[in-house]
Amino acid sequence: GAGVSQSPRYKVAKRGQDVALRCDPISGHVSLFWYQQALGQGPEFLTYFQNEAQLDKSGLPSDRFFAERPEGSVSTLKIQRTQQEDSAVYLCASSLARTAEAFFGQGTRLTVV
Amino acid sequence: GQNIDQPTEMTATEGAIVQINCTYQTSGFNGLFWYQQHAGEAPTFLSYNVLDGLEEKGRFSSFLSRSKGYSYLLLKELQMKDSASYLCAVRDDKIIFGKGTRLHILP
């Protein structure tokens, strides 16, 4: 596609509900990143894929967070048993190579009520 | 550890020049990025420095000193639309962002 696509754009979840956030990277981009961004803060790193391999998941805040990219293209970030503190914008970015710039999707704004 | 520092907020006047500084301490280094982010929008790429020196792109320039762990973004001929947050980011394998500098432009 022309750019990084994320869906849904907005998600309201009841506390305790599971959610799945989707990211469609730019075609051919090898690297894929997930970030969490709270209001007024910079993006906080969650996890990173090189093709289908999850090379770094050190930023995932708890074992309720899980990410996958099974075929090295589309990625899904899953949050189980959502809590209010999970409310944030979740940004996905992709890049062509290890030393290239990353391009961001529009993000998914998750609100847990 | 990983640490990227930049000022929280800056204010400048339309038509003026502003310099936003960034210092970093990271375990690896494969380049430094600057991104612009308007409220409610995704970050957009501005510049990429991997070697020391100044990269100029229109009204925006970015400088890097790897030995000092230091970069700055220089914005010239400021316009009201430049009011945004500016994010400094460093890549080793993953890309780590600073907390961003919110730039306010006064008429």
pLDDT band for position A54 (50/70/90)? Answer: very high
pLDDT of residue A1: 52
The structure tokens listed for B67 are 């030995």
> Listing from the earlier edge strand, what are the strands of the sheet with B18-25?
B3-5, B18-25, B70-75, B60-65, B53-57
CA-to-CA separations, A40 to A10, A83, B47, B99, in angstroms, rounded: 18, 20, 22, 8
Q: Give the pLDDT confidence of A92-106 residue by residue, as tens digits.
A: 999 998 778 899 999
Amino acid at B70: Y
Q: How far is A64 from chain B (nearest CA, A)?
A: 22
Which pLDDT does position A97 carry in this prediction? 82
Contacts of A33 in chain B (CB under 8 A): 94-95
**Residue B95 touches partner A, C-beta closer than 8 Å:** yes
Q: Is B44 on the interface with A (CB under 8 A)?
A: yes
Closest-CA residue of chain A to B48: A101
Which tens digits make up the pLDDT trace of A1-33? 589 999 999 999 999 999 999 999 999 999 999
Q: Would you call B45 and A106 a contact, using CB atoms and an 8 Å cutoff?
A: no
State whether B43 and A44 contact (CB < 8 Å): no
Confidence category of residue B92, pLDDT binned at 50, 70, 90: confident
